[in-house]
Amino acid sequence: MAARQNTTVPKWAPPATTKENLDYIDLVNIDLSKFDDPLSRKELAHEFFSAFTQDGFVTVSGHGISNEVWDAQMDLANATMTMDPAAKVPFEVTPEEDEQGIYVGFKAAGGLGFHKEIDFYNMLLNDPKADRKHPAHLIHHFAETQKVMLHIRDDIQRKFLVLLAMCLEIPEQEMLQTHRAGQSSSEYYRYMSYAPLTPEATLKARGLFMPAHADWGTFSILFSQPVCALQILHKSGVFKWVEYKPYTLVVNVGQALELMTGGVFPATIHRVVTPPPDQVNSLRVGIYYFSRPNDDYSLLPFKNSPVLKKLGKDKPLDPSVTYNTVQFLEAKKHGYLKPDLDFDRPRDPGVHSDPFREGDTFAPTEKLLASIAVKAAT
Ligand SMILES: [Fe+2]
């Protein structure tokens, strides 16, 4: 992708990387530059299968986003997230849009939203409002941003879906038609920031910016960030840090894909915590892409996959109900498939397990797995 001269947006200065000795997870890297050659693509599909079914997170290189384009997007993300709070208000999602499941604009400051230490600006791939207003600096650079959004959807996501089809041994077209361009209303690109919390707020939130959760869609694709805060629940039951790898994407599986694969590709449990001491006062700016199946796609395991059959994973995870994507997202809002991971919450103020203590396992993995078992909404 060719870079475009960035003339009006201030340069983002990446915060210094942490010097702390953190317990990092060793993620498999998927090098998408191996995709074009049929032989190395097969190897890649093997790596893809084992990484996603074991850790549920990978890093991705060879993704085709040049360093210049990456930097220009970080400049835009930073400029957007550091706008004056009052200037953000006209671009906030409206209650009506939120009600309709339209994820667009800034998070609302009141009513719908909560505190703004976590803030984001969503841009839809298929915005129902053709004349959507964006902040001026974004309008000026919207064509280049859309190019990045479409590159992620039509190149990176497409390659992921093809690799997935290879893993499940189903025709490529059968997989690709689950994510037809223009058929999802909830696929979006997001600029996001986590502002430092006061020591009091950190204590109150138990050091958690975002408690442990699973994402809702197919794949969540994020630009690796210099401020460390993302942790993944390792299969040993311990949360491990995700290391910053410049110009690398970090990708994880969401619950829609878990349903589509009978649980073979499990949605990964992760959380966002207070950054290490030497980064605790930095603004953590990030860029995300949330991949979603078509609105009307029924989230059931692929019937014709010999792999799912062989593994005995070709049955619906929840036999009591079949949701399409839109219905699933609506059900999620009402607590469907919500993992119960808040068991570290102190019941007694005098007893509080430290979630950051080395070797703290929170709870045995079995308990976690049981807690995320599919169950009907109540
Ligand atoms: Fe997440």
CA–centroid distance, 254 to ligand 1, in Å, is 8
- In Å, how far are 173, 222, 256, 290, 331 from 219, measured between CA atoms? 18, 10, 9, 6, 19
pLDDT in tens, 27-42: 999 999 999 999 999 9
In sequence order, what DSSP letters do the residues of 121-149 get, joined into one string? EEEESS-S-TT----HHHHHTHHHHHHHH
Q: Which residue has the tokens 């219905």?
A: 327
C-alpha closest to that of 153 among 122, 126, 174: 126
pLDDT at 365 exceeding the cut of 50: no
CA–centroid distance, 225 to ligand 1, in Å, is 14
CA–centroid distance, 214 to ligand 1, in Å, is 6
CA–centroid distance, 232 to ligand 1, in Å, is 10
For the CA atoms of 17, 22, 26, 30, what is the dihedral angle to 10 degrees? -20
pLDDT at 43 exceeding the cut of 50: yes
- In the chain the domains, ranked by start, together with CATH numbers, are 29-346+361-374 (2.60.120.330)
What mean pLDDT do residues 49-65 have?
Answer: 94
CA–centroid distance, 199 to ligand 1, in Å, is 24
* pLDDT band of 107, cuts 50, 70, 90: confident
State residue 356's pLDDT score: 37
Structural contact between residues 125 and 209, judged by C-beta atoms closer than 8 angstroms: no
pLDDT in tens, 200-236: 888 777 788 888 889 999 999 999 999 999 999 988 8
CA–centroid distance, 191 to ligand 1, in Å, is 14
Structure tokens at 336: 């469907």
CA–centroid distance, 322 to ligand 1, in Å, is 23
Pairing of strands 57-61, 28-31: parallel
Structure tokens at 342: 């808040």
Q: What share of the chain has pLDDT > 70, as a percent?
A: 85
CA–centroid distance, 310 to ligand 1, in Å, is 31
pLDDT in tens, 133-170: 999 999 999 999 999 999 999 999 999 999 999 999 99
pLDDT at 371 exceeding the cut of 60: no
State residue 347's pLDDT score: 46
The larger pLDDT score, comparing residue 211 to residue 352, is at 211
CA–centroid distance, 40 to ligand 1, in Å, is 30
Structural contact between residues 107 and 116, judged by C-beta atoms closer than 8 angstroms: yes
CA–centroid distance, 213 to ligand 1, in Å, is 6
C-alpha closest to that of 149 among 291, 248, 34: 291
| pTM of the full structure | 0.87
